[in-house]
């Protein structure tokens, strides 16, 4: 069942990007700051009575986006221990913390590595992608996000990313591309139309697991999901 309330635990660069782009999906959004003062604060205790009084937890999705990963893991553990069926979307800084967050009870994990942090923001900034992101992150969906490095650019015969029918030809959607020089762009931006697909480019793709695996076999190796 679709939830109507989003709880964002944390106050940092992701907070308002998430809030701005999920407000069309959720009727109520609460931003909760770490601390002991104020109505909209929390203190990482095991006592969530005040939260229970504030919202109907069965109607909520929680975003755990604390930048201190130890605190984020503890927050996830505390929420999962108290609310067995709560959908928890947690921010991770690397694979190790992602594994720990999953063990702590996170439903979904968002990587915050340098190569993916801006991709998340790019996706969130595009209204057309809000529903897709919603499904990928915390609804029951077989869609996945993966990073794939292009090993053989000759397969694309000098084409630009925007010239290729990704969905029709490969069953996937390309969201963003990162280049070897460190630059990046959202795939449908004007900048993307000036960069021919080259070996070493990293594509951030959305698709079903089998389609992504077939695409990996065709053009490169998987970096991260």
pLDDT (0 to 100) of residue 165:
74
Q: Tell me: do 27 and 76 sit in the same domain.
A: yes
- Please report, for the domain that includes residue 29, its CATH number: 3.40.50.720
Q: Tell me: do 9 and 109 sit in the same domain.
A: yes
Q: Tell me: do 219 and 152 sit in the same domain.
A: yes
Tens-digit pLDDT profile for residues 125-151: 444 455 555 555 545 456 677 788 888
Q: Tell me: do 147 and 104 sit in the same domain.
A: no
- The answer for residues whose C-beta is within 8 angstroms of residue 59's C-beta and 6 or more apart is 3, 4, 5
In terms of pLDDT, which residue wins out, 60 or 188? 60
Q: Tell me: do 162 and 215 sit in the same domain.
A: yes
Query: Cα(155)–Cα(178) distance, rounded to whole angstroms?
Result: 18
pLDDT (0 to 100) of residue 10:
92
Determine, yes or no, domain membership for 149. Answer: yes
Does the pLDDT of residue 92 top 70, yes or no? yes
Among the candidates 94, 113, 132, a domain finishes at 113
Contact 65, 17 (CB under 8 A): no
Average pLDDT of span 55-66: 92
Determine, yes or no, domain membership for 153. Answer: yes
pLDDT (0 to 100) of residue 225:
47
Contact 38, 32 (CB under 8 A): no
Q: Tell me: do 79 and 161 sit in the same domain.
A: no
Strand bridging mode 172-178 / 202-208:
antiparallel
The residue segments making up the domain with residue 77 are 5-113
Determine, yes or no, domain membership for 131. Answer: no
Q: Tell me: do 32 and 94 sit in the same domain.
A: yes
pLDDT (0 to 100) of residue 138:
46
pLDDT (0 to 100) of residue 221:
67
pTM: 0.55
What 3-state class would DSSP assign to 38?
Answer: coil
Average pLDDT of span 165-188: 71
Does the pLDDT of residue 57 top 90, yes or no? yes
Determine, yes or no, domain membership for 161. Answer: yes
pLDDT (0 to 100) of residue 55:
93
pLDDT (0 to 100) of residue 20:
75
Average model confidence (pLDDT) for the chain?
76
pLDDT (0 to 100) of residue 170:
78
Q: Tell me: do 75 and 149 sit in the same domain.
A: no
Q: Which residue has the tokens 């992608």?
A: 129
Q: Tell me: do 99 and 18 sit in the same domain.
A: yes
Out of 63-72, 132-141, 201-210, least confident range: 132-141
Q: What one-character-per-residue DSSP string does 47-86 give? A: --HHHHHHS-GGGEEEEE--SSHHHHHHHHHHHHHH-TT-
Out of 24-38, 115-129, 192-206, least confident range: 115-129
Question: In sequence order, what are the beta bridge partners of 186?
Answer: 176
Q: Tell me: do 20 and 106 sit in the same domain.
A: yes
Q: Tell me: do 157 and 85 sit in the same domain.
A: no
Among the candidates 63, 94, 113, a domain finishes at 113
- The answer for residues whose C-beta is within 8 angstroms of residue 4's C-beta and 6 or more apart is 26, 27, 28, 59
Average pLDDT of span 5-28: 83
The angle subtended at Cα 23 by Cα 18 and Cα 24, nearest 5°, is 125
């Amino acid at each position: 069942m679709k939830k109507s309330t989003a709880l964002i635990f944390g106050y940092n660069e992701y907070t308002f990007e998430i809030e701005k782009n999920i407000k069309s999906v959720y009727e109520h959004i609460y931003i909760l700051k770490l601390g002991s003062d104020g109505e909209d604060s929390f203190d990482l205790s095991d006592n969530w009575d005040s939260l229970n009084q504030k919202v109907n937890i069965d109607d909520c999705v929680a975003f755990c986006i604390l930048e201190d990963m130890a605190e984020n893991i503890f927050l996830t553990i505390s929420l999962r221990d108290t609310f067995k069926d709560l959908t928890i979307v947690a921010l991770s800084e690397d694979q190790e913390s992602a594994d720990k967050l999953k063990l702590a009870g996170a439903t979904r994990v968002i990587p915050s590595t340098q190569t993916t942090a801006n991709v998340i923001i790019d996706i969130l900034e595009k209204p057309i992608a809000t529903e897709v992101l919603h499904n990928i992150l915390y609804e029951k969906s077989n869609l996945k996000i993966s990073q794939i490095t292009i090993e053989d650019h000759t397969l694309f015969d000098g084409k630009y990313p925007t010239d290729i029918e990704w969905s029709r030809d490969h069953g996937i959607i390309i969201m963003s591309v990162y280049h070897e020089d460190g630059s990046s762009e959202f795939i449908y931006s004007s900048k993307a139309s000036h960069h021919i697909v080259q070996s070493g480019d990293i594509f951030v793709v959305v698709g079903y697991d089998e389609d992504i695996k077939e695409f990996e076999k065709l053009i490169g190796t998987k970096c991260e999901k």
